Chain A
Amino acid sequence: NAGVTQTPKFQVLKTGQSMTLQCAQDMNHNSMYWYRQDPGMGLRLIYYSASEGTTDKGEVPNGYNVSRLNKREFSLRLESAAPSQTSVYFCASTLGLRDTQYFGPGTRLTVL
């Protein structure tokens, strides 16, 4: 099992550009999450998907959109990147909404 995988590992964007961060899990988990982590801070939840076909906002959703493509995949889209979105983005998955979370390796995004 690969667990939770994320692509790309690194990305540099210019202000105003768009991109999609990809996340996939092979653990047959129902729930998936997107977090961001800024230097010296803990993780903050952006969006989550309790099950296939549903998505909900977390604590910092502005500037992001998500798609739960199927049970395995949960993508995060930045429509018009801003320097404030420079961060490390982590995807996580759980069997159920409040079960133990398993994290991917992260995507390091820099917006110039």
Chain B
Amino acid sequence: DAKTTQPPSMDCAEGRAANLPCNHSTISGNEYVYWYRQIHSQGPQYIIHGLKNNETNEMASLIITEDRKSSTLILPHATLRDTAVYYCIAFNSGGSNYKLTFGKGTLLTVNP
């Protein structure tokens, strides 16, 4: 699976949109971009995933560039409960590797 690069930390004001970037310049055509988050001491929580089209669900939006070398996770109205480590993962759901590789992620701190 392709390596992903994320900033180690970001801050966001409560009620504002949080935009979390991820670079995955070596991503292959059949690798999906997955986002998980881990709130302190809890198990990772699935947020969203996409292949090449932008995706939206009740938690977030995922914007993937046309060349698929980077993506942005958008939390439209961040709350204090969104403070967590966010992981961007490139995963080939059709390949032989079934293992999600969690890197260090981005620590998002939402401030009041």
Contacts and interface: CB of A to CB of B under 8 A. Distances in A.
Interface of A: 4, 31, 40, 42-43, 45, 48, 50, 58-59, 90, 92, 97-106
A31 B49 CA distance: 19
A50 B34 CA distance: 20
Contact of A106 (B41, B87, B99, B103): B41
A93 B44 CA distance: 12
Contacts, number: 46
A26 B51 CA distance: 28
Closest 10 pairs between A and B when the two form their complex, measured CB to CB: A103-B43, A42-B102, A98-B93, A43-B102, A45-B99, A103-B44, A97-B98, A90-B43, A105-B43, A100-B46
Contacts of A100: 34, 46, 49
Interface of B: 34, 41-46, 49, 87, 91-95, 98-105
Contacts of B42: 105-106
B44 A90 contact: yes
Contacts of B95: 98
Nearest to B42: A105
A106 B49 contact: no
Contacts of B94: 98
18 contacts: A42-B101, A42-B102, A48-B99, A58-B99, A59-B99, A90-B44, A92-B43, A92-B44, A98-B91, A98-B92, A98-B93, A100-B34, A100-B46, A103-B45, A104-B43, A106-B41, A106-B42, A106-B43
B1 to A, nearest CB: 11
Given A42-B104, A98-B91, A103-B44, 17 more contacts: A31-B98, A40-B104, A42-B87, A43-B44, A43-B102, A45-B99, A48-B99, A90-B43, A90-B44, A98-B92, A98-B93, A98-B98, A99-B93, A101-B46, A101-B100, A105-B42, A105-B43
